[in-house]
Amino acid sequence: VSLNPNGSLVMNAVVYVELGSPAEVDLFYNWAEKTIGVLPAPEATRDSYPVGSRGKSAKVVRALRLLQRCRTAPAIAGRLDV
């Protein structure tokens, strides 16, 4: 999983399948650890994030809204451990 400077959270097919192949996800920001949590959303809400396709098998979540809400710049961009 990686977080791009534009706020896109990109995951490979293996991670996506492990999440249960959801159409939407809920994102959570842990202030103490400065990490982003990703859980499948049971249904689409105004706070959930749609999962889109990127390339043949990668999936992308536009997480900029979360980063702006948490006042966290995409400077934390990079590879994330899952």
Q: What is the dihedral of CA 51, 52, 57, 58, to 10 degrees?
A: -70
Give the Cα separation of 22 and 15 in Å (integer): 11
Bridge partners, 57 (sequence order): none
For residues 20-27, give the mean pLDDT: 95
The 10s digit of each residue's pLDDT in 48-78 is 999 999 888 899 999 888 888 776 555 454 4
Helix (H), strand (E), coil (C) string for 36-75: EEEEECCCCCCCCEEEEEECCCEEEEECHHHHHHCCCCHH
pTM (two decimals): 0.79
Confidence of residue 22 (pLDDT cuts 50, 70, 90): very high
